Structure 1
Amino acid sequence: MALKELLDLTGKTALITGGSRGLGLQIAEALGEYGARVVLTARKQNELDEAKAHLSGLGIEAHVYANDLGAFDSIDPVVERIVAEVGPIHILVNNAGATWGASTVDHPLDAWLKVINVNLNGLFLITQSVLKRSMLPQGAGRIINIASVAGLQGNDPRMTPTLAYNTSKGGVVNFTRTLAAELAPDGITVNSICPGYFPTKMTKGTLAYGEQAILAATPMHRLGTDADLKGLALLLASDASAYITGQNIAVDGGITSV
């Protein structure tokens, strides 16, 4: 099979959580460019509408559903709606996330629970729902979790403490490994992308506080750009990665290499 055919996503449906902006929207652009119909979920309908208009302007078929991963009872119904209205889900990108900056002794319990509920519990529940309703019955699927370099290492003491976030992303890293082994006989691959520092709404506060320290610790001496996740996301979503599973791949300018 030609390499272009291995990367072709025509006829595939990709569900991207937190897909209305930032890294999720960048991934939607990449998968849509290679033929996937993309389904975006996020909490804010106005941001979803803007993302849909943007993707439509690029010639990408996009569907949007307002949903909060922290509201667990809403997850099964939204997946059921997507499958009924758009079709079976072939690719799941678990991108939605939350963070909180505070010292451990001052970290509010409700903030801890918010981060864990979105980054781990919601991720588990939507993955379970998509497996039941699409991937296991069809005997194929691609699951891409967006973890973080924060799940691969501790936190530089010069930076704002983010214990809940780092803990949750460490959980995503091992969730990826463990689920990949379980699902390998079912034709479903599970991998994660571990971004370094990209300028997004979520990282705005971190970059305002510590961008120079981050750049000094990054061998490439730059932040991630709008294009830096796209190639890897396409690879992991396509048949070109059929023999890759259980991997947590850092896209970080080399920050975890030193």
Structure 2
Amino acid sequence: MGPDLFDVAGRHVLVTGATKGIGEMIVRGFHAAGAHVYLTSRTAEDCAALADELGGRAVGLPADVSTLDGVRALAAAVAERTGTLDVLVNNAGATWGADIEDYPDEAWDKVLALNLKSPFHLTVACLPLLRAAATAERPARVIAIGSVDGMRVPIWESYAYAASKAGVHHLVKVMGKRLASEHITVNAIAPGVFPSKMMRFAIEEAEDELVASVPLGRLGQPGDAAGAAVFLASPAASWITGAVLPVDGGMVTLA
């Protein structure tokens, strides 16, 4: 073991859903740790603003990763800027809540396209770049953002979201098995409750209840999300693949 056990400096990292919430936390964490970060979301202005704020080693690449054309365009844009991709963070996601009898088919289409199909398609589209970075000593990394709601029955009626995140957790195992021989690890982070646009309504309505449901007694903070992602991208996690790491203050494992 050396001083570089958690070093990601100089690594090339692509993060989707990167300008808000957990995605932004992860982008800032990698950038602060010295990585080259390619950050993407659907809104060009948001991408440019965050990249400009971070400065050197940050590039904004707007894309809609809910479509196959958008995924392919994003992978091509990254390939124009680097020949290797050390880390892919599939974070972009959406949710939809409604009563069971009112739950629309549109919700399934939208949520599954972004939460489940997109991580698969983007990983495939980025395989040439990931393969170019991968070695036995330092594998390339794919990190998917799942959810504690893919590991338990959620509090709210978010059927497509919960099912999609459970699917993400299994998908990393399936892809991890396939890509292990190519020195590409595939893992997932399952966040608990973090302050984000997606969770704003819940926190505003029931923050005390949410905090009470967390054994460690607080909501997630930026360092919690960033630290888990940087760990899974670092030499310290070179021998971990197919894993789902809860980052939830004990909500699932101590329930």
**How high is the TM-score relative to the length of structure 2?**
0.93
Would you say the 8 A contact 2:146–2:168 is kept in 1?
Answer: yes
1:204-223 equivalences in 2 (<5 Å):
204-223=200-219
1:250 to 233, 238, 246: 246
- Secondary structure of the corresponding residue to residue 193 of structure 2: coil
1:1-258 equivalences in 2 (<5 Å):
1-2=1-2, 4-56=3-55, 60-131=56-127, 133-139=128-134, 140-156=139-155, 160-256=156-252, 257-258=254-255
**Structure 1 residue 228: Cα displacement:** 1.3
| Unmatched tracts of structure 2, length 5 or more | none
**Cα-Cα RMSD:** 1.5
Q: Distance in 2 between matches of 1:193 and 1:54?
A: 26
**Structure 1 residue 6: Cα displacement:** 2.7
Would you say the 8 A contact 1:21–1:51 is kept in 2?
Answer: no
Letter in 2 for 1:120: L
The Cα offsets for residues 93-129 of structure 1, whole Å up to 9 and x where unpaired, read as 0010000111222111112210000001111110111
Q: Distance in 2 between matches of 1:192 and 1:77?
A: 24
Q: Distance in 1 between matches of 2:231 and 2:95?
A: 27
Q: Distance in 1 between matches of 2:106 and 2:123?
A: 24
Count matched residues.
Answer: 250
Letter in 2 for 1:176: V
Letter in 2 for 1:221: G
| Unmatched tracts of structure 1, length 5 or more | none
The Cα offsets for residues 147-174 of structure 1, whole Å up to 9 and x where unpaired, read as 0001111123xxx311110000000000
Q: Which moved more, 1:201-210 or 1:14-23?
A: 201-210
**Structure 1 residue 177: Cα displacement:** 1.4
Q: Distance in 2 between matches of 1:168 and 1:75?
A: 18
Q: Report the CA distance shift for 1:182/1:51 in structure 2 as closer, same or farther (over 3 A).
A: same
**Structure 1 residue 245: Cα displacement:** 1.0
The Cα offsets for residues 212-241 of structure 1, whole Å up to 9 and x where unpaired, read as 332222112211112112221111011111
Letter in 2 for 1:39: Y
